[in-house]
């Protein structure tokens, strides 16, 4: 493992432009702030308030909208850590989205709730942090077929982003995943972005950090890589808070 990967800091151009926000996509294995609020994650589409999610894991839910300046967090391995901001009301949220959570619309539920609280789509930002990329995420063909029946996806009429050919990741720091089945290569971050776009989020309000946990993040960042090679994996905490 090179030191450059180990010490990498993940920054968001959109969030760095906001003076009233503090955030981190932490390296896998690093401890979150002690006062962070987060849910007991269940791959659901349930959104909690910051009050409900503190003490941490008190309630089940996969996203947290901050109630005050306490940090709100999610923990992930290959799933998507998503930080969501409403610039108008100065609200912040964190969402955890694996395949089940994203297809159930966890991030859309957060944006819906922020709009109930006074946001408009143009005032929202969605930042997708380190997660397994299409370079390393193979799914069986039946999973794709099942996804097409999924109510949130079919009501949005979203095109599923997958390819038969494994995309090459030119930023890979170690070998990409090898095919384990005669499956397809699925782009979960792109699905989350496409869903947000069909929901009404302007494309310039979305940012993908584009770091694959399997082949280009820290050594022990990937659940799936651990299932292929062992060696363990550690959770990544991503958090955000409003600075009063």
Q: Which residues form the interface with Zn ion (CB under 5 A)? A: 133, 135-136, 169, 212, 214-215
**φ and ψ at 64, to 5 degrees?**
-135, 130
State in angstroms the smallest separation of the CB of 166 from Zn ion: 9
**Closest among 80, 89, 81 to 114, alpha carbons compared:** 89
| Residue number with CB closer to Zn ion (97 or 134) | 134
Q: In angstroms, rounded to a whole number, what is the distance separating the alpha carbons of residues 195 and 212?
A: 20
CA angle 80, 85, 88 (to 5 degrees): 160
CB-neighbour burial class of residue 57 (10 A; exposed 0-12, middle 13-18, buried 19+): middle
State in angstroms the smallest separation of the CB of 239 from Zn ion: 24
State in angstroms the smallest separation of the CB of 169 from Zn ion: 5
Residue 229, helix vs strand vs coil: helix
Q: Count Cβ atoms below 10 Å from residue 175 Cβ, excluding itself.
A: 11
Q: Output Rg (C-alpha) for the chain, integer angstroms.
A: 17
State in angstroms the smallest separation of the CB of 70 from Zn ion: 34
Look at phi and psi of residue 105 and say left if phi exceeds 0, alpha if psi is from -120 to 50, else beta: left
Q: Which helix (H) or strand (E) holds 238?
A: strand 236-242
| Residue number with CB closer to Zn ion (94 or 136) | 136
Strands (E), 155-216: 162-163, 184-186, 206-208
| Residue number with CB closer to Zn ion (33 or 210) | 210
State in angstroms the smallest separation of the CB of 213 from Zn ion: 8
| Residue number with CB closer to Zn ion (66 or 188) | 188
| Residue number with CB closer to Zn ion (104 or 135) | 135
State in angstroms the smallest separation of the CB of 52 from Zn ion: 35
| Residue number with CB closer to Zn ion (15 or 136) | 136
């Amino acid at each position: 493992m090179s030191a450059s990967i180990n010490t990498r800091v993940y920054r968001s151009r959109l969030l760095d432009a906001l003076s009233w926000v503090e955030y981190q996509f932490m390296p896998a294995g690093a401890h979150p702030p002690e006062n962070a609020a987060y849910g007991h994650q269940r791959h659901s589409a349930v959104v909690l308030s910051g009050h409900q999610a503190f003490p941490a894991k008190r309630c089940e839910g996969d996203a947290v909208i901050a109630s005050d300046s306490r940090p709100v967090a999610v923990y992930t391995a290959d799933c998507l850590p998503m930080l969501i901001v409403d610039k108008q009301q100065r609200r912040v949220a964190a969402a955890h989205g694996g395949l089940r959570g994203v297809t159930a619309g966890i991030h859309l539920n957060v944006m819906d709730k922020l709009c109930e609280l006074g946001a408009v789509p143009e005032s929202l930002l969605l930042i997708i942090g380190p997660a397994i990329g299409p370079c390393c995420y193979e799914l069986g063909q039946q999973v794709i077929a099942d996804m097409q029946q999924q109510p949130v996806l079919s009501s949005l009429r979203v095109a599923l982003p997958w390819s038969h050919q494994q995309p090459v990741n030119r930023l890979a720091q170690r070998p990409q995943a090898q095919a384990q089945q005669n499956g397809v290569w699925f782009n979960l971050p792109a699905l989350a972005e496409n869903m947000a776009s069909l929901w009404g989020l302007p494309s310039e309000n979305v940012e993908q950090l584009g770091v694959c946990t399997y082949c280009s993040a820290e050594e022990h960042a990937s659940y799936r890589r651990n299932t292929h090679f062992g060696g363990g994996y550690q959770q990544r905490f991503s958090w955000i808070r409003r600075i009063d």
